[in-house]
Amino acid sequence: MTATVVLGLAWGDEGKGRVCDALASDVGYVSRYSGGNNAGHTVRVGEEEFKLHLVPSGIVREGVICTIGNGVVVNPEVLVEEVRALEERGLDVRDRLKVDGRAHLIMPYHIALDSHREIALGNARIGTTNRGIGPTYEDKVARYGIRVQDIFDEGILKTKLKAALREKNAIFENVYGEEHYEVSELASWLLSFKEFIEPMVADTGTMLRDALENRERVLLEGGQATLLDNDHGTYPFVTSSNPTVGGAVVGSGIPARHLEYVVGVTKAYTTRVGDGPMPTELFDETGEIIRSVGREYGTTTGRARRVGWLDLPAIKWAASLNGITHVAITLLDVLSAVDEIKICVGYEIDGKAVEGYPMHQTDLHHARPVYKTVPGWGEDITWCRMRGDLPEAAQDFVAFVEAEVGTPVCMISVGPERDQAIVERIGI
Ligand code: GDP
Ligand code: IMO
Ligand code: MG
């Protein structure tokens, strides 16, 4: 049957987890295809809050099979801890979670390198999550990464570790003046997870393709987001994978022809955690209000998120890049706290109005937003379950975004809980 991709249109934390959770009510499979435990996806069901880093959000839905695709980078320790913690909360995880044998493993030296590099960059730092994501993808591309399947053969594992450490140890000793890593220690560390992980390892691409041929519905859950994409995002202030729609095909191992729907998720405003340009960033009291009402603190690192008005040129560009079929607008309730709402509808760069979204990174640093100001609604909307329940000003806000993005809105979330949403599935 068909696959639906859920991906972020901005710099992450758009609420992809909760959108996936809503759409997972009638799918057979939910799969992560990119990134690793730099992601933090929140699903709230009543009083229960699940913060997922590696395990797909579908795990919260009974009976849904979840896969961690070949495009994901896996810290084995985090995987084991996350599975155990979810099982302690009563979810049957190991019966329903499969991890692709081709996925690359995040090693302790990747995390160490991530942190050394950030310190060395000083003010030019990326503001990574310090989870070793970049160095792991580098090794994958350099062809000396360690993959999940490598833990099944100690001999092969040690040979690969030796090859990987040849240059790494030279870097640790000579550039960062640090102790080197031992093959035997790393091998024992990895092998300590073997028994736990082995039954979950599968060829998840083949699983998903078979499922699609058997008319199952598959949901592909993006980590990170479009403006953090290594190719298309605000490079170098990006992650090291491709969260965009192409990454969903490569990172899950399913053919593009199966992708029928692409849901782009955006907050009703913008947030960013980490460094890099953010034209609509607010440094005033309104920004503080939005941060505090929206509880804008990172799910993974706890860092305060930078907050700004909705950046439509960026969202429209991301929508076009991913060929989205639907848009989901999240955290609309947070804007109830402000009297007047601004929406960035264009940029001025060096005093000149520009069309669209600039390609040059430096332009983005200078881009001054051109705002359209619309009235706020100033009332609680968390009870609304249909568009018609929303105050007129909120309906107008949604209609404006929908018209500008040019695809139908399939979900408007008005609170963090599963039920606090207006869902208009439109065939998805
Ligand atoms: P993800 O990484 O895209 O899955 O998003 P995160 O889970 O990192 O961040 C979204 C945050 O917003 C989480 O704390 C959610 O519980 C919260 N959230 C999601 N939707 C809503 C909403 O409609 N209203 C409010 N107030 N909070 C929401
Ligand atoms: P979810 O899936 C928000 C950001 C980091 C940093 C940059 C590079 O929850 O939306 P990395 O550790 O990937 O090398 O960091 O990317 N970043 C995220 N920001 N949400 C995420 O994931 C992120 N994953 C990475 O803050 O700016
Ligand atoms: Mg997140």
- CATH topology for 3-97+203-423 is Adenylosuccinate Synthetase; Chain A, domain 3 (3.90.170)
CA torsion 129-267-263-246 (nearest 10°) is -30
Site to substitute for ligand 2 among 38, 54, 235, 305, most atoms within 8 A of C-beta: 38
Asked if residue 68 has pLDDT above 90, the reply is yes
Report residue 278's pLDDT band, with 50, 70 and 90 as the boundaries.
very high
CA of 314 to the centre of ligand 3 (A): 19
Q: Active-site residues: which are they?
A: 13, 41
Which pLDDT score is estimated for 302? 85
User: Does residue 427 register a pLDDT over 80?
Assistant: no
CB of 15 shorter than 6 A to ligand 1: yes
Beta strand 65-68 pairing with 97-100? parallel
Ligand 3 centroid to 340 CA: how many Å?
27
* Bridge partners for 272 per DSSP: 306
Q: Where are the alpha helices (DSSP H) in 89-178?
A: 108-121, 133-142, 154-174
Calculate the CA dihedral of residues 65, 71, 75, 81 and round it to 10 degrees.
-10
- Specify whether the backbone of 76 is left (phi greater than 0), alpha (psi in -120 to 50) or beta: alpha
- Please state the atom number of ligand 2 nearest to the C-alpha of residue 129: 12
**How many alpha carbons lie under 13 Å from residue 178 in its C-beta half-sphere?**
14
Q: Stretch 55-70: mean pLDDT, rounded?
A: 97
Percentage of residues in the chain having pLDDT higher than 90: 94
Residue type at 42 in one-letter notation: T
- List the residue whose alpha carbon is closest to atom 13 of ligand 2: 239
256 Cα to the center of ligand 3, angstroms: 26
Tell whether the model's pLDDT for residue 425 goes beyond 80.
no
Q: Which residues contact 84 (CB under 8 A, 6 or more apart)?
A: none
Give residue-wise pLDDT tens across range 175-212.
998 878 999 999 999 999 999 999 999 999 999 999 99
**The two three-digit tokens of residue 154, written as one number:** 């100690």
By percentage, how much of the chain surpasses pLDDT 70?
100
Segment 106-153, tens digit of pLDDT: 999 999 999 999 999 999 999 999 999 999 999 999 999 999 999 999
- Across the range 290-298, mean pLDDT stands at 95
Task: Indicate whether 298 pLDDT > 90.
Answer: no
Q: What's at 93, amino acid-wise?
A: V
pLDDT tens, 360-400?
888 999 999 999 999 999 999 999 999 999 999 999 999 99
Which protein residue has the closest C-alpha to ligand 2 atom 11?
128
Asked if residues 370 and 344 have their Cβ atoms less than 8 Å apart, the reply is yes
**What counts of helices (H) and strands (E) characterise the chain?**
13, 20
Judge whether 336 and 380 are in contact, CB under 8 Å. Answer: yes
CA distances from 150 to 70, 295, 349, 405 (A): 14, 41, 50, 44
- The answer to whether the CB of 204 falls within 8 A of the CB of 252 is yes
Task: Tell whether omega for the bond before 236 is within 30 degrees of 0, i.e. cis.
Answer: yes
Sign of CA dihedral 264, 267, 270, 275: negative
Question: What does the domain layout of the chain look like in residue ranges?
Answer: 3-97+203-423, 104-198
Question: What's the topology of domain 104-198?
Answer: Adenylosuccinate Synthetase, subunit A; domain 2 (1.10.300)
Q: Which two tokens stand for residue 11?
A: 């710099």
